[in-house]
Amino acid sequence: MTVTKEESGQEGADGDGGVSGAGDDYVPSQRRLDRERHKRARARRATAIGALSTLVTGVVLYLVVVNAPGWPRTKETFFDQEYAREAFPKVLEGLWLNVRLLLICGACVLVLGMLIAVARTLRGPVFFPLRVLAAAYTDFFRGLPLIINLMIVVLGVPALRLQGVTVDPVLLGGTALTLTYSAYVAEVFRAGIESVHPSQRAAARSLGLTNRQALRHVVLPQAVRRQVPPLLNDLVSLQKDTGLVSIGGAVDAVRAADIIVGRSLNYTPYIVAGLIFVALTIPMTRFTDWVTARMDSRRAQGGAL
């Protein structure tokens, strides 16, 4: 059906777009203006309701806590301002160790996890022993509690008195963290590799790429891109668990707080350390949520992952 110029211009004036001609300035229709005004009003109303409900919930929780029979003693033991001021600089100084552990262990975890994942996905009977070892590694360290792994490595390795093996609790604690989290990250990478359709590998092979080249240039880039959100979640968990190296005597944020608690018998330093970890974790968590939402949006629109 042929549409005349007059009909096209009339539809542009009556429709939501409000475009009356190619050379005219854009003029939104009244219907579009009313709809946008209604959306803004709904957004303001939703914001007001959310703020009011949050305020009411906060006031109720505050009244419940401060009116509890044991609140005065709890406030003195966990929320003492004097001990908080004393603990803050020392906990912040110890936090630098946690940050360094996160950066170094995070890089080691990504590399080792990728190698284990690739080993588990190798094809051919010649690689069967390698696949078995990789599967045994992931099964063992995913099932072993992290705190027990830390105790075994941090306390057990020095007891062996091996020549040339470090007894530094920081290095041993970082090793235990790497061993455990590599197993989790390996499974994340393996899921991403197996999610790539076999036709991608077949297409790469048809273009003359070897199996190794197809894995490196075709499969792995897609697998890693798809698994970015769960990888970031694992790094957030690693960031929190770096505080467990304190069981070996390493003076990190948790250990610095523990020293003050042992001397004063006041638990406020633990609250300070916990809040600092929360403040450090929230930006990374929000970044993970943003990446996840962005990838979901692109997937819904049919874009490249």
- For every residue of the chain, which 3-state class applies, written as one string? CCCCHHHHHHHHHHCCCCCCCCCCCCCCCHHHHHHHHHHHHHHHHHHHHHHHHHHHHHHHHHHHHHCCCCHHHHHHHHCCHHHHHHHHHHHHHHHHHHHHHHHHHHHHHHHHHHHHHHHHHCCCHHHHHHHHHHHHHHHHHHHCCHHHHHHHHHHHHHHHCCCCCCCCHHHHHHHHHHHHHHHHHHHHHHHHHHHCCHHHHHHHHHCCCCHHHHHHHHHHHHHHHHCHHHHHHHHHHHHHHHHHHHHHCCCCHHHHHHHHHHHHCCCHHHHHHHHHHHHHHHHHHHHHHHHHHHHHHHHHCCCCC
Structure tokens at 40: 């803004």
Residue-level pLDDT at 219: 83
In this predicted structure, the answer to whether residue 118 has a pLDDT above a threshold of 50 is yes
Mean pLDDT of all residues in 51-68: 91
Per-residue pLDDT tens digits for 4-16: 444 444 444 444 4
Higher pLDDT, 26 or 151: 151
Can you state the angle between helices 128-143 and 81-121, rounded to 10 degrees?
Answer: 160
Share the mean pLDDT of the chain.
Answer: 84
| pTM of the model as a whole | 0.75
Residue-level pLDDT at 302: 61
Structure tokens at 69: 């029979």
Per-residue pLDDT tens digits for 214-244: 888 888 888 888 888 888 888 889 988 998 8
Question: How far, rounded to the nearest angstrom, does the alpha carbon of residue 105 sit from its chain's CA centroid?
Answer: 15
Residues 190-218 as b/e (b if ≥16 CB within 10 A, e otherwise) read bebbeebeeeebeebeeeebeeeebbeeb
Q: What distance in Å separates the CA atoms of residue 154 and residue 53, rounded to the nearest whole number?
A: 48
Beta carbons of 169 and 246 less than 8 angstroms apart:
no
What percentage of residues in the chain have a pLDDT greater than 70? 90
Q: What distance in Å separates the CA atoms of residue 140 and residue 14, rounded to the nearest whole number?
A: 67
Residue-level pLDDT at 143: 93
